[in-house]
Each structure stands twice: as C-alpha cells, then as structure tokens.
C-alpha cells in the first residue's frame, strides 16, 4: 500500500508566513534551505518507492483473488506518481495532501473490504511519530487526537459492518503478515531517517559553535578549550609550549583597494597557508579580524620562531593568488613561551605585545616576547 509515506507528515519547509500567506494554495512552493531541498528530494524517492511497493500489492491481491484491492492499488500508484509530479512542479503542499489522502483512504478501504484483522490500520499508527517529531506549530496534540478518533471510528465501523469483500482466513493472515513486515521496515527506516537528521543538525551546531564561519579554523572559545587540554598534556610531559600570534600587514589597505570580498579571500587563503605549515598537533585559530593564533606543543621558542620565519618568508616571497590578480602581502609575528595552563592568557598578552613591537619596527618580521622581546628574527623586507 505505502512505504515511508508517513514521512510526509513533516511540515512543509515553505510553510505559510505573513509574507506569502496570500498565495493561492497551489502556487509553486519550495523550501529555500539545503535541508528542505534534501527533504523534498527524499519525498520524491519515497513516492516512487511506494508506487513500486503498491505494484507488488497488486500482484498479491490478484493472487489472493481480491480484485477490488488490486484496483485500489492501481489508484494508489497513480496518486503516488501524481505526488511525485507535484513536487517536481514545486506544489509541495498539494503533494503532501495527496500522500496523506492515499494512506488514510487506503487503510479505510482495505479494513472495510477484508476486515480489521488484515492489518491495513497499522499504517495509520506510523503517522504518530511523524506528526509529533515534525510538528513545529503546536498542532501535534490535536492532530494525534484526530488520528486517534479516526482510528477508533474505523475500528468500530469495521466491526459493525464486517468484511464487505471477505477473503479466506488464511489469505487474511498472509495480508496481515505482509503488513507487519512492511510496517517494521518502515519503522526502522523512519527512525534511521530522523536519527540521521539529528546527527547532521548536531554536527552543524557543533561546527557553528567551535569554528570561525569564514576560515573554518577554530574560534576563540574552541581554541581556549583545545589549548587548555594541550597545555595540560605538555605540563605532564614537561615539554615546552609556544604561541604564535600573526597579523596580515596593511589589511585595511587590501579591503579599501580590492573590496571586502577579496579581503575575505585573503583571510581564507592566509588561514590555509598557516594550517599547511603547522604540525597536525598544533592548535590554530582565527583570533579576530586579520589576526591568527597558533599554539605549538612540544616546541621550544627557537623552533617556533623558525617556523614563524619560514611562513613569513614564504608569504613575502610569493604574492597570494586571490581576486583578479595576485596580491603581495606580508605577515608580522609575535612569539611567546607558555608556562602552563594558568599562563595561557598572560602568554597571549605577551605575544600581542611582541606583535605590536614587530608592527612598530616596520612589519614583515618575527618578534620574540618576554626577555627576548627586543630580538627581531627577520628584518623588515
């Protein structure tokens, strides 16, 4: 009869809002989000699959000798193909209505024709999780109550009138077994669909909470968490830890001359350059604006300074291929040693002072913090 049709209980992502409430009911609709588009693509596949399942039901009922039910499944196939066509034409609400009508009507006709024991009513129960999970406008309770009333009414009606086109008891058992198997498969697949949806949403939220949306690097809060863990590990092993704070020189000039879109490309490319030249265990973050901060565990001050110098020289040597033409850029670095988790914020402040000193000394250089703050690793080019 139907496979996965209850997934259509999910509200349309393009639900009526004040801006579109005056549209005619059959005006093409389409969710604008990627999730909405993926959902409707899934519903299209469901409609085709349901049509194929109903083709199998036609053969089953022809074999069992129930011509009315075979004919009903022919109509069901037409309704699912119609729903598929409506979604292609972006009449999403109409497609959902057609799918709901098929399931509700088919369950009623099957139950009345060959009896309640045939199990056609199992498909109505599949609407419950779809209604509750997908509902976003507070209509779950009245919809479930309406479904319950319909379910009980259909049960009483089936008992009162008896099978209108009865089949032998063994044939009814076969239909019941088939329905049980299909509903079990539907329940498992429905649960898998919602579980996958939840996991995808969770991953997106985690990324939004921990990553800079432009560069994809760690944001400040995620850097603090990762740096604290790395510093605790380094403290147990007595390994030195160093901070690199770097800044794109004259970045405002880039924005003014080439526009903010190119400026964003510069930041993305610079983040990639830094990531490519740091080790896998280093913690790299966009610290704000055009500043990037890296924590280098198991790295003494001189080794970290050499890494910063290598990156500085590579950037200064090769214009960055962004925008319509490569842009010549330079970086300034402040380098500071970190003496344990409690020293992290103070070390960042020392690295920031060293970076300021590098800028003040002419930019395009690496400056050491603390007792070596006056040492310049690379002269301004």
What CATH number is attached to the domain comprising 360?
A: 3.30.70.270
**Mean pLDDT in residue range 186-206:** 83
Q: Is residue 380 part of a domain?
A: no
How many folded domains does the chain comprise?
2
- pLDDT at res. 340: 87
- pLDDT at res. 81: 95
DSSP 225-262: HHHHHHHHHHHHHT--EEEEEEEETTHHHHHHHH-HHH
Residue 40 makes CB contacts below 8 A (sequence gap 6+) with 13, 30, 31, 87, 92
The structure's pTM equals 0.61
Residues 154 and 255 in one domain: no
Residues 206 and 247 in one domain: no
Residue 136: pLDDT band with limits 50, 70, 90: low
Q: Is residue 74 part of a domain?
A: yes
The answer to whether residue 42 scores a pLDDT higher than 80 is no
Furthest CA-CA distance within the chain: 97
- pLDDT at res. 3: 42
Residue 360: pLDDT band with limits 50, 70, 90: very high
**Mean pLDDT in residue range 68-78:** 95
DSSP state of 5: G
Residues 153 and 259 in one domain: no
pLDDT digits (tens, 9 = 90+) for 236-288: 888 999 999 999 999 999 999 999 999 999 999 999 999 999 999 999 999 98
Q: How far is CA 212 from the centre of its chain?
A: 16
- pLDDT at res. 49: 85
Residues 130 and 20 in one domain: yes
Domain C-terminal end among 188, 210, 232: 210
- pLDDT at res. 315: 94
Q: Please state whether 368 falls in left (phi above 0), alpha (psi between -120 and 50) or beta.
A: beta
Helix (H, G, I), strand (E, B) or coil at 220: helix
The answer to whether residue 305 scores a pLDDT higher than 80 is yes
CB atoms within 10 A of CB 21: 8
The answer to whether residue 111 scores a pLDDT higher than 90 is yes
Residue 348 makes CB contacts below 8 A (sequence gap 6+) with 243, 245, 293, 336
Residue 320: pLDDT band with limits 50, 70, 90: confident
Instruction: Note the helical H segments in the chain.
Output: 34-64, 67-88, 92-114, 122-125, 127-134, 140-161, 169-210, 220-237, 251-258, 260-277, 301-317, 344-360
């Amino acid at each position: 009869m139907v496979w996965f049709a209850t997934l259509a209980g999910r509200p349309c992502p393009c639900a009526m809002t004040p801006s579109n409430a005056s549209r005619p009911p059959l005006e093409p609709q389409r969710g604008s989000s990627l999730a909405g588009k993926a959902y409707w693509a899934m519903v299209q596949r469901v409609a085709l699959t349901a049509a194929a399942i109903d083709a199998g039901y036609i053969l089953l009922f022809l074999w069992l000798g129930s011509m009315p039910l075979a004919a009903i499944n022919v109509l069901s196939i037409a309704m699912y193909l119609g729903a598929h066509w409506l979604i292609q034409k972006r009449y999403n609400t109409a497609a959902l209505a057609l799918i709901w009508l098929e399931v509700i009507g088919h369950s009623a006709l099957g139950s009345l024709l060959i009896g309640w024991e045939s199990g056609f009513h199992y498909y109505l129960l599949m609407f419950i999780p779809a209604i509750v999970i997908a509902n976003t406008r507070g209509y779950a309770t009245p919809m479930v109550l309406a479904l319950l009333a319909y379910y009980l009414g259909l049960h009483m009606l089936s008992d009162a009138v008896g099978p209108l086109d009865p089949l032998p008891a063994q044939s009814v058992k076969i239909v019941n077994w088939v329905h049980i198997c299909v509903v079990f498969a539907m329940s498992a697949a429905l649960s898998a669909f919602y579980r996958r949806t939840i996991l995808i949403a969770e991953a997106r939220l985690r990324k939004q909470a921990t990553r800079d949306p432009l560069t994809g690097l760690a944001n400040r809060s995620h850097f603090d968490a990762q740096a604290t863990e790395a510093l605790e590990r380094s403290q147990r092993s007595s390994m030195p830890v160093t901070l690199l704070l770097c800044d794109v020189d004259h970045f405002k000039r880039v924005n003014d001359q080439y526009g903010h879109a190119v400026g964003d490309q510069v930041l993305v490319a610079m983040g990639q350059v830094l990531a490519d030249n740091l080790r896998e265990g280093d913690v790299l973050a966009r610290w704000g604006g055009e500043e990037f901060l890296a924590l280098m565990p198991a790295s003494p001050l001189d080794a970290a300074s050499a890494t910063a110098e290598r990156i500085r020289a590579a950037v200064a040597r090769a214009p960055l291929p962004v925008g319509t033409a490569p842009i010549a850029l330079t970086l300034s670095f402040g380098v500071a040693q970190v003496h344990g988790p409690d020293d992290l914020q103070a070390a960042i402040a020392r690295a920031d002072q060293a970076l300021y000193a590098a800028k003040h000394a002419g930019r395009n250089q690496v400056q050491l913090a603390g007792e070596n703050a006056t040492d310049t690793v690379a002269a301004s080019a």
